[in-house]
Structure 1
Amino acid sequence: MTLAPILPRRAAHTANPDLLPLLGGTPLARIRTDLPHRHPGFWAKLECLGAGGMKARAAVSMLTGARDRGELLPGAPVVESTSGTLGVGLAFAGQALGHPVVLIGDTELEPSMRQLLRTYGARLELVDRPAAEGGWQAARIARLREVLRRTPGAYWPDQYNNPDSAAGYLTLAAELTTQLDHLDVLVCSVGTGGHSAGLAGPLRRRWPRLKVIGVDSVGSAIFGQAARPRLMRGLGSSIHPANVAYEAFDEVHWVGPAEAVDACRRLARSAFVSGGWSTGAVALVAAWAARTQPGAVVATVFPDGPHRYLGTVYDDDFCHAHGLDTCALAVRPLQIPHPHAAEAAGWARCATVLAPTRGGAA
């Protein structure tokens, strides 16, 4: 079967620049929920309350940078791989800047997210099986290259390796410097590496002694563990994104899905603000940092809200089917001396941060 080229509808060319002032400007919430123990509290930047979510910042930055360099022509299609969150951000950026958006997802993408992306005007293509090496991400990238070949003039932002992604979070860093008088510890989820890279530099210039903790998923290859199938989406990776600023991290934590679900549900019940896998994982680690470093000011970013995850994180049948309701939850991280010393099956931490693609300690 010959696949037809993807041609944008004429209406998709119309830019809506009035959307751009809606970007960012998100509030900070003080979180004191027991996670799972009491702690002094930490600050959470609520990116779920910004138009397009956290990754709209990166999406606008990547498309604007490409337009300025002449790589993205007016009205040209934008094609990208996504597990969901960046897709929403690109749908926002596409409408604001006047570009049709084609997203490559996979069949693990929640039905509600598929519907949302299509509702926002994006065209969605799904791959139905992971690649033997590189998992779903590699399979999506292979399909993406097929789509690029049959879509004249299309632009691929390549979120994993595009420095404009990190640059998009400079506004987030600037907001934090105005909202906080001081910051000792920053906790960042790590997937593509964009927001941690964009925050660490400017915040360390403001507070030179800032400690940065990366939060990864069990089964992720980013920080030197072996890649294996992951239930959690939105953080972790089967590949090594070039955007990850390994040298910025003082330590890394790997969090399992059961711990993330428990944290999300605790947040929803008592703090009202919650989210998905990334939110649960960073909340768990931020609470640990606040508890183990008395007097430290700790902050993190909640990338999105809970609505996408009503059929997973907040669904009892889903959690039961995946054994998340019977897991023995870790109440503190298992400390390992080196990323290769042990495979993290649940919450673990390591103060040796490696850059796998460069073969050494950062």
Structure 2
Amino acid sequence: MAPSKQTDEIKSSALDLIGNTPIVALDRLYTGPGRILAKCEFMNPGASIKCRSSLSMIQKARESGELKPGAPVVEVTSGNQGCGLAVVCAVLGHPLTLTMSKGNSVQRAIHMEALGATCIRVPQVEGTYGNVTLADVQAVEKVGLELVEKQNAYYVSQFSNPGNSDAHYETTGPEIWKQTGQHVDAFVATVGTAGTFVGTSRYLKEQDPNIKTYVVEPEGAEPIKGKPITKPLHLLQGSGYGCIPNLFKFEYMDGTLSVSDEEAVKYKNLIGEKEGLYVGYTSGANVAAAVKLLESGVLPEDAWVVTVLNDTGLKYTPVPDELQH
């Protein structure tokens, strides 16, 4: 029997829920000049933008034969990539082990393990809970690489896997272009692995070379801007590690914007209070940077700036009181 029209909208698995996220105008939070449009990436099944790259990297590894059916997968994560991989591996039947710093919010470990993954939380080297440094990440990576060898597992390696940025070139960029009616003046995004920024910027600039693209960096941890690292500890988990990522390409960047912890918290709260969306700190930083860019006068007064709301606020432990003011 042919499926009825009523069943046409039934998705075959959680993988079909990845991407095609809506874009929303933040007109209550920011009234002009110009307009801020935000891609709602927290609406992915793993509650972050990393579901896109997770699906892309695993699919490409399976297609190339590098990842065999049912074979184990290992990855080093700050949490969101781990949650995305847990969604994908659960559906496709791959045992998944993740290593994550104890400085990353415990909610992420709970999320990953609820999806059947194993999360090994690695003690911090120099950071504090909620603040993860490059040295902490390197400690997590050491444990992860030992597990790859021990399990003879496929190592995702999000920081150097081209399938990461390809995901955003193939999906995020085209979705933004279509949803805005091909009206994009600028794109701004925080950088962790650089996959989102590079893939999206590459696509948008191919459509219109005049589109301006800006990297958002935590104040005091701005290596892409070329500044020395003076504040390796910051609230923007999953971004601003104090190094230039392997996937980063300067040719897709027009400039950088710095955002303090206080600004990220302020706009994270405003996104909730004015727009009804509960998001994480990098989302707050992205919107803070978009406001700075529009208020700088660099763009036309009627410019549309597109950014991303990377993940849900439910992935975080509450910020200390001293940063709430």
Band of TM-score, shorter chain: 0.7 to 0.9
| Shift in Å, 1:34 | 4.2
| Gapped regions of structure 2 (runs ≥ 5) | 1-10, 128-132
Pick closer, same or farther for the CA change 1:180–1:69 going to 2, 3 Å: same
Kindly provide the amino acid, as one letter, of the partner of residue 213 in structure 1: Y
| TM-score, reference length from structure 1 | 0.78
- More displaced, 126-135 or 174-183? 126-135
Q: 1:305 aligns with which of 312, 318, 321?
A: 312
Deviation sequence 1:104-127 (CA, Å, 0-9, x none): 001112222221111111101111
In structure 2, what is the equivalent of residue 89 of structure 1?
A: 84
**1:48, 1:302 within 8 Å by CA — same for their partners in 2?**
yes
- More displaced, 218-227 or 235-244? 218-227
Q: CA RMSD in A?
A: 2.1
In structure 2, what is the equivalent of residue 134 of structure 1?
A: 134
| Gapped regions of structure 1 (runs ≥ 5) | 1-15, 327-362
In 1, distance between residues paired with 2:33 and 2:239? 24
| Shift in Å, 1:221 | 5.4
- After superposition, where does 1:222-261 map in structure 2 within 5 Å? 222-223=223-224, 224-227=226-229, 228-261=232-265
Deviation sequence 1:64-92 (CA, Å, 0-9, x none): 11112221111111111111111111111
| TM-score, reference length from structure 2 | 0.87
SS in 2 for 1:229: coil
In 2, distance between residues paired with 1:226 and 1:79? 33
Kindly provide the amino acid, as one letter, of the partner of residue 159 in structure 1: Q
Deviation sequence 1:116-162 (CA, Å, 0-9, x none): 1111111011111227993211111111111112112x011111111
SS in 2 for 1:129: coil
- After superposition, where does 1:340-355 map in structure 2 within 5 Å? none
SS in 2 for 1:233: coil
Taking every aligned residue pair, what percent have the same amino acid on both sides?
29
In 2, distance between residues paired with 1:325 and 1:44? 23
Choose between structure 1 and 2 for higher RCO, CA contacts under 8 A separated by at least 6 residues. 2
In structure 1, what is the equivalent of residue 219 of structure 2?
A: 218
Deviation sequence 1:217-273 (CA, Å, 0-9, x none): 234354133342333212211333211122211111121211100111111111112
Pick closer, same or farther for the CA change 1:226–1:151 going to 2, 3 Å: farther
In 2, distance between residues paired with 1:287 and 1:256? 13
SS in 1 for 2:100: strand
In structure 1, what is the equivalent of residue 71 of structure 2?
A: 76
Is residue 2:155 matched to residue 1:161? no
In structure 2, what is the equivalent of residue 343 of structure 1?
A: none
SS in 2 for 1:42: strand
In structure 2, what is the equivalent of residue 197 of structure 1?
A: 198
| Shift in Å, 1:276 | 1.0
In 2, distance between residues paired with 1:79 and 1:219? 32
| Shift in Å, 1:172 | 1.2
Pick closer, same or farther for the CA change 1:93–1:219 going to 2, 3 Å: farther
SS in 1 for 2:13: helix
Is residue 2:138 matched to residue 1:143? no
In 1, distance between residues paired with 2:140 and 2:184? 38
**1:29, 1:46 within 8 Å by CA — same for their partners in 2?**
yes
**1:76, 1:155 within 8 Å by CA — same for their partners in 2?**
yes
Is residue 2:78 matched to residue 1:111? no
- More displaced, 183-192 or 281-290? 281-290
Q: 1:47 aligns with which of 38, 41, 65?
A: 41
In 1, distance between residues paired with 2:92 and 2:52? 13
Deviation sequence 1:259-299 (CA, Å, 0-9, x none): 10011111111111241111000101112223333111111
Q: Which runs of 4+ in 1 moved over 6 A?
A: none
SS in 1 for 2:145: helix
In 2, distance between residues paired with 1:231 and 1:267? 17
| Shift in Å, 1:20 | 2.1
In structure 2, what is the equivalent of residue 296 of structure 1?
A: 303
**1:187, 1:285 within 8 Å by CA — same for their partners in 2?**
yes
- More displaced, 236-245 or 101-110? 236-245
Kindly provide the amino acid, as one letter, of the partner of residue 158 in structure 2: Q
SS in 2 for 1:150: helix
Kindly provide the amino acid, as one letter, of the partner of residue 43 in structure 1: L
SS in 1 for 2:158: coil
Pick closer, same or farther for the CA change 1:161–1:111 going to 2, 3 Å: same
In 2, distance between residues paired with 1:66 and 1:233? 27
